[in-house]
Amino acid sequence: MATDPQPAIEVRGLVKRYGSGATQVEALRGVDLTVMPGEFVAVMGASGSGKSTLLHQIAALDLPSGGTIRLGGELVSDLDDDRLTLLRRQRIGFVFQAFNLLDVLTAVENVALPLVIDGVNEKVAAQRALEAMELVGIAHRRAHRPTELSGGEQQRVAIARALVTRPLLLLADEPTGNLDSRHGEQVMNLLRTLVDRDKQTIFMVTHDASHAALADRIVILRDGVVVDEQIPSRAGAAGTHDLSQIG
């Protein structure tokens, strides 16, 4: 008998408080959320709604005040510091609005860096980095340094770096925040293609409704709670693209 797939993300009763006493702030107040493998979920909400806090909790960058988080069926609270580090390094890919590329390294060296840090043989790491760059259509710029790349190209290198470990989950925090509208649209089309073509699970925080509309589901946060979920109509939305033609 076929069994249901294990959720990529399973959050139950998630609470996060900062401070204490009269200055205590409850950033998350009992969030329930499930993301299945191969699903693209966008989170929206006003400033202070808890979007970034939720992403940081799912990224295991901070401990919750209450509730549980499971990633790929693994209960995050059961993991010690070493296992949490491995979880973040091997099972989660991060994409932020700042590209965080090292200017002294070429694009392919930047992409290979997580594998090299993890002890992977340099030749193997370089080959896997090139494969990740081919996935996002930036392999032709492998020998260029970040200062020689456009913003859109730098973000694609950053996405390749996030994918090089073949993660369970790609977390994107305002991934188009440092891009103009044209390059921002191209990066969003790339994320959509990674889901449609490669079944990559993506959890993205964004303030841009047009970008959120490319997701499979939009979760709306207000004052630390989920107040709505929407299934966007993506008629005419981008599908698989020739990624080498975008910059």
Question: Checking DSSP bridges between strand 9-18 and strand 217-222, what pairing results, if any?
Answer: unpaired
Which position has the token pair 């989660």? 92
Count of other CB atoms within 10 angstroms of residue 65 = 15
Q: Given its phi and psi angles, is residue 103 left (phi above 0), alpha (psi -120 to 50 degrees) or beta?
A: alpha
Site of tokens 């994918």: 163
What would the two tokens of residue 86 be? 């491995």
| Sheet order of strands, 92-96 included | 92-96, 169-173, 202-205, 40-44, 217-222, 225-230
Calpha distance 135→190 (Å, rounded): 9
Please give the structure tokens belonging to residue 147. Answer: 């200062």
**Which phi and psi angles does 187 have, rounded to 5°?**
-65, -40
- Enter the DSSP assignment of 72: T
Structure letter (DSSP) for residue 37: T
Pair of tokens at residue 129:
């980095």
- Closest listed residue to residue 198, CA positions, set 39, 2, 35: 39
- Which residue(s) pair with 29 in the sheet? 15
**Residue 4 has what pLDDT?**
63
Q: For residue 239, what pLDDT is reported?
A: 42
List the alpha helices (DSSP H) in 66-106.
81-90
Q: What is the pTM of this model?
A: 0.90
Spatial contact of 195 and 40, defined as CB atoms under 8 Å apart: yes
CA angle 138, 140, 143 (to 5 degrees): 100
Enumerate the H helices of the chain as residue ranges. Answer: 51-58, 81-90, 107-117, 122-135, 151-163, 181-198, 209-212
* CA dist list (Å): 37 to 33, 200, 207, 245: 13, 7, 24, 28
pLDDT per residue rounded down to tens, the chain (247 residues): 445 689 999 999 999 999 988 889 999 999 999 999 999 999 999 999 999 999 999 999 988 999 999 999 999 999 999 999 999 988 999 999 899 999 999 999 999 999 999 999 999 999 999 999 999 999 999 999 999 999 999 999 999 999 999 999 999 999 998 899 989 999 999 999 999 999 999 999 999 999 999 999 999 999 999 999 999 986 434 444 444 443 4
Total residues found in the chain within this entry: 247
- Contacts of residue 20, defined as CB under 8 A and 6 or more positions apart, other chains included, come to none
Q: At 215, which amino acid appears?
A: A
Within 8 A by CB and 6+ apart from 6, the residues are 37, 72, 73
Q: Given this model, what pLDDT does residue 3 score?
A: 53
